[in-house]
Homo-oligomer: A and B are copies of this chain.
């Protein structure tokens, strides 16, 4: 399995989020080499707390295969899943999760904790971290940098008025 190819698809999803001023995070669900779900972060534009890239992709994937069990699937996501998305992975029984950048502040698939390796749950997933992490991480850094610059520009504009 070529992790880089599928992670690139997740990065392409993240770029769609970037274009609409959402934190650039993207995800794809792959089954037997085919994309069955795609998603990018839509939290701000939808004003919905559930609309993280992974949840959007899992929702589409389960609709596509007509099952809540995403067995034999691989989830690719540009940023380490948060607590909700790690939980959604457990609930959908996805066996393998591949992520790009680590999330030291909120990541629950290895950083703060690893809910995908929790032996007391009835499902555990294999985690592969760091695939194309520089590209995934750079996208986020660029986004927040441009957000800060825009805020600074606005502030200066107000001072000039």
Taking Cβ atoms with an 8 Å cutoff, the residues of A that contact B are: 43-44, 46-52, 55, 58-59, 62-63, 66-70, 82-88, 90-93, 105-106, 108, 112, 115, 118, 120-122
Contact = CB atoms under 8 A, between A and B. Distances in A.
A39 B48 CA distance: 16
Contact of A83 (B51, B87, B112): B87
Contacts of A106: 121-122
A112 B90 CA distance: 15
A118 to B, nearest CB: 8
Nearest to A112: B120
A120 B122 CA distance: 25
- Please classify the interface of chain A as helix (H, G, I), strand (E, B), loop, or mixed, using the class held by over half of its residues: loop
Contacts of A84: 84, 87-88, 90-91
A59 B115 CA distance: 23
Given A52-B91, A106-B122, A66 B47 contact: yes
A92 B58 contact: no
B83 A121 contact: yes
